[in-house]
Amino acid sequence: MTIPMVKAEGVHKSFGAAHILKGIDLEVAPREVFCLIGPSGSGKSTFLRCINHLEKVNAGRLSVDGQLVGYRQKGDKLYELRDSEVALQRRDIGMVFQRFNLFPHMTAIENVMEAPVQVKGESKAVARARAERLLDRVGLSDKAGNYPTQLSGGQQQRVAIARALAMEPKLMLFDEPTSALDPELVGDVLDVMRGLAEDGMTMIVVTHEMGFAREVGDALVFMDDGVVVESGHPRDVLTNPQHDRTKSFLSKVL
């Protein structure tokens, strides 16, 4: 049996009295493009942040490629990993945020090189060669020497994707990667993501881009109020939703 790339079992997350995730169960297969949709505040981004332990779950279990995230099990108990051990796990998980979070004092190529040099201890020559290939892949080889302020939002987001890919992750997480972009810049970012999907990258994408979910997604989950309301193949869920809450949401966004 193939080990799921991501497996969530009864995942709960609270912030104080606010119960954000209320028992999430789902699996993401290797090479799958898994789309998460739902209204703001439904827990999509929080769930994504739990996958790489940027947020600690309060109950349940999350595994990536068969390994517990953030914890080790001994007998019936879970023990939290040290920060250094969590950092090792995160090396295999790339994340692209709504805001680009590029280092403003570094050029595009320096942003892409930074983590492999600082985290993996790669030589600058090796890191630069990979960064050049990645910037070419996202269509920005001519912008390698530009600083973030000299790039459009869409270009900055494509640099952010190249930066995440520079660590050669087995899983990519996208948290509404186009939501902060002007509409005419969205297409270039989605084209890069389509290319990753074609190359077989496992991706979890929180998105409001229903066209992308329909065309590129292999599986889709609709979340609301911290629970999975409906799941299935994107075309099935988007064209023939079964749950009233899903129907109501899609009537407003399609």
The model's pLDDT over 188-201, given as tens digits with 9 standing for 90+, comes to: 999 999 999 999 99
pLDDT number for residue 32: 97
Query: What sign for the dihedral angle of Cα 57, 60, 64, 66?
Result: positive
**DSSP single-letter state for residue 82:** P
The model's pLDDT over 47-87, given as tens digits with 9 standing for 90+, comes to: 999 999 999 999 999 999 999 999 999 988 889 999 999 99
- Report which of 222, 218, 243, 240 is spatially closest to residue 231, judged by C-alpha positions: 222
**Sequence-distant (≥ 6) Cβ neighbours of residue 132 within 8 angstroms:** 109, 141, 144
Task: Say whether pLDDT at 236 is over 90.
Answer: yes
State how far the Cα of 238 lies from the Cα of 18, in Å rounded to an integer: 29
The model's pLDDT over 115-131, given as tens digits with 9 standing for 90+, comes to: 999 999 999 999 999 99
The tokens for 55 are 């947020």
The model's pLDDT over 2-14, given as tens digits with 9 standing for 90+, comes to: 899 999 999 999 9
Q: Name the helix (H) or strand (E) containing 137.
A: helix 124-137
* pTM of the predicted protein model: 0.95
As a whole number, mean pLDDT of residues 222-226 equals 98
DSSP secondary structure of 157-215 = HHHHHHHHHTT--SEEEEESTTTTS-HHHHHHHHHHHHHHHHTT-EEEEE-S-HHHHHH
